[in-house]
Structure 1
Amino acid sequence: MAPRPVDPADSLGLSGFAVSADVTINTLSGDADYWRDTTRGSPNNVAPSLQIMGRKGLWPGIEIGAGATHLLDSRMWTIAGYGKVALHEGFHHLPIPSIALRGMFSRLLGSKDLDMTTISVGASLSHVFGVGSTFNITPYAGYDALLVFSRTGILDSTPGHDEFSEGSVPCDNGDPDCSLQSEFVFRQQDVILRHRPYVGMRFIFSVLRIGLEAMFVPPGGSTSGAATGDVTDSSGFQQQYTVSFGLDF
C-alpha cells in the first residue's frame, strides 16, 4: 500500500506535468501461518493493487506529486504525496547519470481494524537515451527506506461467534467466559523499517508514458516490545512488479 516511485531521477521541469495509472503485482507469503490462520479459504500468494499518481514540475529540479492506491478486491485505499529534488540532471548527451532525492508518505483509509501511515526517503539514478526526436528510454535504479507506523482498532478473536445472541464461550485457558478476552488492541507497534531497492525503465513516445519497475523487499528483522514480551517480525521476502501507463506533458 506504500507508494512506489515508478519514475526516474530527472524532474519534469518548470512547466512539466504527468499523470499515470500503475498496476502492481505484490507477492505475499501466503503459506505462512499468520496468513493461513487469519484467512477464509486458501490465501493467495499475490495481491494486485492500482496506484493513480499526478506529478508537477516546479522550480527546475523540484517536483511534487499526489495520488491514491487501491488494494484490489478490498475496501482499502491510501492517499499519498511525494516530493523530489533532482540534485544533478540534464547531461543527456554525456555518460553522466541524473541523481535525485525523493520523499513519500501515505495514509491508509477504509479499514477500521488498522491505522497505518508510511513514510519513505530514498535516492535514485537514471539516464535518458534518446531515439529520434520523439522517443526516449530511461533506465533507472534506486533505494527507499520505508518506515511503517501502525496500530490496530478493536480486534475480535472470535469473529464467527456473537456473545450477545449465542452466550459466552469458554477460553482455551479454562475461563468459562471468554467474551471480554476475545477483544483486544495493539495500541502501538514499534516503527517497522523496510529496505526497498528497485530498478525500472521508462519509455516516452511523444506524450505517451510507459513504465516498468521491479522492487525487492528483504524479509523483516525488527523486534517490537509487548506486554507479554518481545515479538519478532517474521515477514518474508516480498517482490513488487509494476506496469505504468500515463501521459507526460
Structure 2
Amino acid sequence: MDPALARLVRDSGCRLVGPDKGLYYNPASRYERCQTDDAAFAKLIAQYGFAVAPSAMHAARTTGYGGFEIGIEADFTKIDSDADYWKRGTQGPQDPTTKDFSIENRSPDAFLQHYALKVRKGFPFGFELTTAVGFLANTNLISAGADVRWALFEGFRKGIPAIFPEVAVGGSVRTVTGTEEFQLTVAGVDAQVSKPLPISGTVVVTPYAGYQWLRIFGDSGLIDLTPNTDAVSYCNFRGVNSPATPVEGQGGAPVPYDGQPVCSGGSQADFNNTVVFDAVRMTRHRLHFGAQLRFQMVKFGAHFITDVVPPEDANQGEAYEIAGENKFAGLGQQWTLAIDLGAVF
C-alpha cells in the first residue's frame, strides 16, 4: 500500500511498457511529456490524510495538573479500495521469487490500519499536551505529531455545575515521513463534550461526542513518470549549457547560458518526464463519538469518526477544479473505527 505515483498518468501512450513490465520513454511522444493524473493524486492524498489525521480520541476532561497518560491507539479507516486510483497509485504485493512489484495493485486493502503510541500530560488551568508517533500497516509510512487541548469546563463533582457536561477545545497536527513520493501534513481543530459516570466507586464510564475540522496539505515529490529509462544515459549527457559546456547555435552563433541539459548524440526529451503533481489543499468536516472505561489506572476506549459531508461538497470553487470538474468528485465519505488501551497516572 505504499504510493506508486509514477503510474498516475492520463495518457498511457506517452510511454512504453517493456517486457519486464517497466515504464520506458516512448520516442514517438518526442518532447511532449506524460500528463499527470492530478485528480487521482488528490483523491489518494485525501484518503491517506483521513487515515493519519489526529483522531481526537479523548473525553473533554484532561488528565489534570500533574496527570500523565500513556497508551496505544489502533485506527481502522475505510477507503475506496475498488477505485482506480488505489489500484494504479499503490505498489501492491511483491513477487516472492523476483521481489518485483506488480504493474498495479490488484487488491488494495479495504482498510488503512494506523497504530500509534500516545503520551498525554496535564498542566495547570485545564491545559494538556499530547505527543504521538505511529505507522501505517503494510506501508513504510511513519506519522508523528502533537495536540494541545484546553478544558473550558471540567472537574465539577458537586452542586449545579456537576449537572452539566464537560467541554474542551483543541488543536492538533500530524505529518508523515517514510516516502519520497509525497509530503503529507494534516492539521485539525476540535471541540468536545463529555460526561463521566462513576460506577461502583472504582469504575468510570465517560461517553463523549464532538466535531473536528481538518485541513489536509499534500505535495508530491519529484516523480519520474518513465522510471525505467535513464534520462541521463538516453541524452548521453555531457553537462549543462554553461561556460564550461557551451552550446552553439546555428552558424556557430552563441546561445544564452540557460542551464539546460547538453546531450552528445542523444535526446534531452525524457528529462521532461520528471514532474510534480498539483498540490492538494482540502478541508474535511468530521463528527466523532465514543466512550472510555477506566478501572483504577487502566483505561480502555472505543471511538468512531465519520465525514459530516462528502469531500466534494466541503471543497467547492475553481481552486478545487480540473478542467471544470471538481477533483474530489466521486470520492466517498470515509469513517474510522478506533480503540485504545492505556494507563493513567
Query: Which is higher, the Rg of structure 1 or of structure 2?
Result: 2
How far, CA to CA, are the matches of 1:200 and 1:182 in structure 2? Answer: 48
Q: Which moved more, 1:130-139 or 1:178-187?
A: 178-187
Please give the TM-score of this superposition, normalised by the length of structure 1.
0.87
SS at match of 1:180: helix
CA deviation vs aligned residue, 1:147-184 (integer Å, no higher than 9, x gap): 1112110123344x33469969xxxxxxx997334321
Q: Give the structure 2 partner of residue 63 of structure 1.
A: 128
- Report sequence identity in percent: 25
Deviation at 1:15, TM superposition (A): 1.5
Q: Which amino acid aligns with 2:296?
A: S
Task: Please tell me whether residue 24 in structure 1 is matched to residue 75 in structure 2.
Answer: yes
Q: Give the structure 2 partner of residue 43 of structure 1.
A: 108
Q: Give the structure 2 partner of residue 172 of structure 1.
A: none
Within 5 Å, give how 1:197-216 maps onto structure 2. Answer: 197-216=287-306
**Which residue of the other structure, out of 276, 291, 298, is the alignment partner of 1:185?**
276
**Which residue of the other structure, out of 221, 227, 231, is the alignment partner of 1:153?**
221
How far, CA to CA, are the matches of 2:171 and 2:196 in structure 1? Answer: 22
Alpha carbons 1:11, 1:60 under 8 Å: kept: no
Q: Give the structure 2 partner of residue 171 of structure 1.
A: none
Alpha carbons 2:231, 2:271 under 8 Å: kept: no
How far, CA to CA, are the matches of 2:288 and 2:81 in structure 1? Answer: 23
Task: Please tell me whether residue 220 in structure 1 is matched to residue 320 in structure 2.
Answer: no
Within 5 Å, give how 1:1-249 maps onto structure 2. Answer: 1-39=52-90, 40-92=105-157, 94-159=162-227, 161-163=228-230, 179-186=270-277, 188-189=279-280, 191-217=281-307, 218-221=309-312, 222=315, 225=319, 229=323, 232-234=327-329, 235-249=331-345
Q: How many residues align?
A: 240
How far, CA to CA, are the matches of 2:322 and 2:188 in structure 1? Answer: 30
SS at match of 2:85: helix
Alpha carbons 1:92, 1:127 under 8 Å: kept: no
Alpha carbons 1:92, 1:129 under 8 Å: kept: no
Deviation at 1:91, TM superposition (A): 3.0
Q: Is the strand fraction higher in 1 or 2?
A: 1
How far, CA to CA, are the matches of 1:30 and 1:13 in structure 2? Answer: 42
How far, CA to CA, are the matches of 1:226 and 1:118 in structure 2? Answer: 18
Taking a change above 3 Å as real, the CA distance of residues 78 and 49 of structure 1, as seen in their structure-2 partners, is: same
Structure 1 unpaired stretches of 5+: 169-175
How far, CA to CA, are the matches of 1:65 and 1:201 in structure 2? Answer: 19
How far, CA to CA, are the matches of 1:165 and 1:182 in structure 2? Answer: 12
Alpha carbons 1:91, 1:97 under 8 Å: kept: no
Over aligned residues, Cα RMSD in angstroms? 2.5
